[in-house]
Structure 1
Amino acid sequence: MTDAPAAAFQGYGTKSYRAYVLGVFVVIYTFNFIDRQLIGIVQEAIREDFGVSNFYLGLLGGPVFAVLYTTLGIPIARLAERANRITIVSIGAFLWSLMTAACGFAGNFVQLAIFRLGVGIGEAACVPPSQSVIADYFPASRRASALAIFSLGIPLGSALAYLGGGWLVSNFDWRTAFWILGAPGIIAALLLKFTVKEPPRSGTQIKPPTFGETLRALSKKASFWHVAFGGALISFVGYGSAQFLVSHLVRNYELGATPALEIAHASYAMGAVAGLSTALGTFFGGYLADRLAPRHPRVNSWLPALGVGIAIPLYVLSFLQTQFIWAFAFLMLAPIFHYLYLGSMYAVSMGVSTPLQRATSIAILILIVNLIGLGLGPPFVGAANDFFASQILSDTSTLTLAQCDPRTVAPENAAACASAQGLGLKYALGATIFFLGWAALHFLLAGRTLVKDRIS
């Protein structure tokens, strides 16, 4: 089977076992995103306890997590080209789950940041090896769909984090949310290790190409770089907004009688967005790409561009609303189009790579996407929030952001501070959305060489 041409490869194992393997990887990726997204859901409670600025919250959800998550992805992917990929992912899942639970024990911002670094180290072992395994289980004709289903871990994990995190914060506290939602990932890691087989690697190569050889091969694939930077800009918007959307709903709409209930209700709303809208966009992006590819070979270029082009005005309309019901309605629609890109982004990256280059190619993709998207998106939104809130305060009062520290704010200043923080966040999110237009341009440019660059 491993010596068969790529076009003749019909998949490894039985159809039912392939479905089981894909399901286990979806579970692993779901826990990956539960643990990654939880910080944004409970950050309003953390801000109350630690008194940190929006920018520092952005650092916690962005670079503090992303710095090791992205840089370690390359060496781990190189290891995955040679070693047992199932073992690598299992160890990573065990580590990130343990570190997520440890976040609940943090006594200050620095300790919390250290534990978040640990989460990033563990999660670096997830995506490149996982996608390399999936590519060796499924034929090329079903790869975009399989990778889109795998990517459902993003909306499923986000939805569970929103629902579980919101409920736990309202009934217990933010520390309990980390303990309860982090620990079960350890069980998923063991399930993967003991029930999923390492598949034989497709292709005829015996020795994996070096990192330099893979990078040189990709340097000739213009479609890869356009898709990578397009995906990075979409992730810049996605990660940046995702960390602050619960805060946006809490600060700008009356959602409950107490702060804990407001966080819970905002989290439930975002759980519906992630569990339904983002999941639909993620799945249908891969499904449509596979179905349209025979007649439209450049579908992985224009479908993501079309999706984000439609998403921009829907997001803007949501942020302009003063009533929650309408803000929520547009917020439900936008991600369906926003997330059409995921399956296509990964399928293009796999398609321009040989079988023994896939994990490294995905790691390079993840490095670009997450350094820009995850590393810069949340702190950009946080810094923009602080900037706009400061401007609003200076225009409407004599207050400064320092006087709006939730631990020490004077009662007579609380309303003005809350209004500035809420409106400032609206402006920050609205400004961030327009980066989607830049992303659409990169996906369209990828179409010029997409067919020529494709290997499988």
Structure 2
Amino acid sequence: MTDISAGPKAARKSASARSWYMLALLALVYIIGSVDRAVPSVIVEPLKAEFALTDAQLGFLTGFAYSIPYALAVLPAGWLIDRVDRRALLSIAAAVWSVLTMAGAAAQTFTMLLLARMGVGATEAPASPGSLSLIGDAFPKHRRATAVSLYYAGTAAGQMITFLIGGALLMHFDWRALFLIAGAPGLVLAALLFFTCKEPERGQFDEEQESPEPVSYRLAVRSILASPPLRHAIVANMLATGVNYAILVWTVSFLVRSHGIAVQNAAMTVGVTIGLTMMLGSFVAGWMTDRYAKGDASRTARVPAIGTSIAAILGIAMILMPDRNAAFVLLAAFGFMMGINTGPGYATLVSMTESSMRGAILSIAKLASILIGNGGLAWLTGQLSDWIGGGDSIRWALLITILFLFWASFHFFRAARAQRKESGLDDIL
């Protein structure tokens, strides 16, 4: 566990212009990765018609087809992140998943599309833990919430691009064109990351030895099991990101089925309402959290602890709202809170881990978020919709899914309390 105060080594250094440039590139890569990952969410209804799919099959395609290969690859990826040039690893991964995204355009059967999406899931495994590991070594503790929030603003930007531009493209092209257009930019960004960025010194802003040695997964797991703050933070992020992903996957279908909106207009509506507000929330979250927390991981955890409860209330109101325009307003507010929660949630994990095991622990956390959170809740929502049945079944399935945010809030609060107890600090806000 790292101490919340900056040590002598950290005090001698600050984030450079090169660090901010690398952060910008990492965010752009994450944007493209989010686009590549979210493309099927825009074309759920066209895919359902093309391949005669059930909601459970669509939930599998948008959830487990990505998350299971990701889960198989993320632990080896985390091992590599702690041992190799992270910049090179992420560049190669981005190039490969971009090509596999484009391969989805050639799918003639549901099985072929599944295989392409599984490849995307496996090759995106190093992206988030690798980028967070780089950010942890490129920025001091009192700037990490800002840096991580700006990075995760890429999720919002990716969703906005996917749904807004994807919806517009569907007016002129079929669903196959979206895969081709989504995959191409990743090749350019992969080259820029590889040729114009340098690997930062590991642990340069942490109270550690000058050259921390990477640790095994066995030791990383033992560290998690021995650390109540880490355990609660991992579960909280798993639940919060899982609900967010399920909402993004199924909101277009919800607007089409429950509010009678055309799929193209529904996709663009989601892009504007969730994309813009989530991006704004991410920008606000980083600045707000760093000013409030000042490098204290327990205070950082309090931000998503409060935010997830607020998001749950807004999400329930949005799902139950019969008026279309009022539902759009609530959807925008929910998107803002998604942005508030994501960056500080993962900044909490970065600040609670040592650089020697940051890749391993963040990979374990991402494994839980992707496999159980994203994959499980996206599939569960589709499965619940099939079980409930009827034209409005997706509304009630989403309502049940949103309730998991209260569970996430509980664990964020527990993480904050446990971290302060371990640090020997009082519990004053």
Structure 1 position 10 matched with structure 2 position 16: no
Q: Deviation string for 1:372-416 (max 9, x for gaps)?
A: 111201111101111111xxxxxxxxxxxxxxxxxxxxxxxxxxx
Instruction: For 1:187 and 1:454, locate their aligned partners in 2 and report how far apart those are by CA, in whole Å.
Output: 44
Give the aligned partner of residue 398 of structure 1.
none
Distance 1:194 1:297, change over 3 A: closer
Task: Tell me if the contact between 1:308 and 1:440 (Cα under 8 Å) persists in the aligned partners.
Answer: yes
Partner of 2:177: 176
Deviation for aligned residue 1:287: 2.0
Deviation at 1:71, TM superposition (A): 2.6
Cross-structure match for 1:222: 228
Q: 1:306-329: CA deviations, max 9, x gaps?
A: 112112222122122233211111
Question: Which residue does the alignment assign to 1:401?
Answer: none
**Structure 2 letter corresponding to 1:228:** I
- Distance, in Å, in 2 between the alignment partners of 1:253 and 1:374 is 25
Deviation at 1:57, TM superposition (A): 0.3
- The residue that corresponds to 1:62 in the other structure is 63
Aligned to 1:368: 368
Is 2:105 aligned against 1:104? yes
TM-score (norm 1): 0.87
Give the letter for the 1:231 counterpart: N
Deviates more, 1:227-236 or 1:171-180: 227-236
In the alignment, residue 209 of structure 1 is paired with which amino acid? V
Shift in alpha-carbon separation, 1:216–1:169, aligned structure 2, 3 A: same
The aligned counterpart of 2:258 is 252
Aligned twin of 2:3:
none
Identity of aligned residues (%): 31
* Alpha-carbon distance in 2 for matches of 1:75, 1:454: 32
User: 1:9 and 1:215, CA in 2 relative to 1: closer, same or farther beyond 3 A?
Assistant: farther
Q: Deviations over 1:335-388 (max 9, x none)?
A: 222332222222222222221211111111101111211120111110111111
Structure 2 residue aligned with 1:44: 45
Q: Is the 8 A contact 2:26 2:151 kept in 1?
A: yes
Corresponding residue number in structure 2 for 1:382: 382
Distance 1:297 1:91 in 2: 32
Alpha-carbon separation, structure 2, partners of 1:135 and 1:438:
28
Amino acid at match of 1:215: V
Q: CA 1:453–1:354 in structure 2 vs 1: closer, same or farther (change >3 Å)?
A: farther
Q: Give the match's secondary structure for 2:356.
A: helix
* 1:135, distance to aligned residue in structure 2 (A): 1.4
Task: Calculate the TM-score normalised by the size of structure 2.
Answer: 0.92
Q: Does 1:209 align with 2:215?
A: yes
Aligned to 1:396: none
Which of 226, 242, 252 is matched with 2:248 structurally?
A: 242
Q: 2:156 touches 2:339 (CA, 8 Å); kept in 1?
A: no
**1:429 paired residue number:** 398
Which string of whole-angstrom CA distances, capped at 9 and with x for unpartnered residues, describes residues 15-67 of structure 1?
32222111101100000100111111111000011010000000001111001
1:290 aligns with 2:296: no
Name the SS for the 2:23 alignment partner.
Answer: helix
Give the letter aligned to residue 27 of structure 2: V
**Mapped partners of 1:362, 1:319: distance in 2:** 32
1:272-311 superposed matches below 5 A: 272-294=272-294, 298-311=298-311
Check the 8 A contact 2:212/2:355 in 1, yes or no.
Answer: no
Q: CA RMSD in A?
A: 1.8
Residue 194 (structure 1) shift: 0.9
Distance 1:229 1:285, change over 3 A: same
SS of aligned partner of 1:449: helix
Partner secondary structure for residue 247 of structure 1 = helix
What residue identity is the alignment partner of 1:360?
A
Q: Take 1:206 and 1:373, find their aligned partners in 2: how far apart are those partners?
A: 31
1:443 and 2:412 aligned: yes
Tell me the CA shift for residue 218 of structure 1: 2.4
Secondary structure, aligned partner of 1:136: helix
- Report the Cα offset of residue 5 of structure 1: 4.1
Counterpart in the other structure of 1:400 = none
Query: Is the 1:92–1:126 Cα contact (8 Å) retained in structure 2?
Result: yes
Q: Which moved more, 1:212-221 or 1:116-125?
A: 212-221
Work out the CA distance in 2 between the residues paired with 1:295 and 1:76: 28
In the alignment, what sits opposite 1:167?
A: 168
Take 2:274 and 2:12, find their aligned partners in 1: how far apart are those partners?
34
1:258 corresponds to: none
Asked if the contact 1:100/1:179 (under 8 Å) is kept, the reply is yes
How many residue pairs are counted as aligned between the two chains?
413
How far, CA to CA, are the matches of 2:349 and 2:296 in structure 1?
18
Q: Tell whether 2:274 aligns with 1:271.
A: no
- Closer/same/farther in 2, CA of residues 94 and 296 from structure 1, 3 Å limit: closer
1:119 corresponding residue in structure 2: 120
**Distance between the aligned counterparts of 1:167 and 1:65, measured in 2?**
25
Instruction: Give how far 1:297 is off.
Output: 6.4
Q: Which secondary structure state, in structure 1, belongs to the residue aligned with residue 360 of structure 2?
A: helix
Deviation at 1:454, TM superposition (A): 6.5
Deviation readout 1:84-111 (Å, 9 max, x if unpaired): 1011001110111111111111111111
**Does the CA-based 8 Å contact 1:352-1:454 persist in structure 2?**
no
Q: Secondary structure at the match of 1:171?
A: coil
Q: 1:345 and 1:334 mapped to 2: Cα distance?
A: 16
1:346 aligned partner: 346
Q: SS at 2:171's partner residue?
A: helix
Instruction: Say which SS state the counterpart of residue 417 (structure 2) adopts.
Output: coil
Letter in structure 1 aligned against 2:194: K
Summarize the Cα distance change of 1:218–1:11 in structure 2 as closer, same or farther, 3 Å threshold: farther
CA distance in 2, matches of 1:367, 1:95: 20
Q: Secondary structure at the match of 2:200?
A: coil
Segment drifting more, 188-197 vs 216-225 = 216-225
The letter for the 2-side match of 1:76 is: A
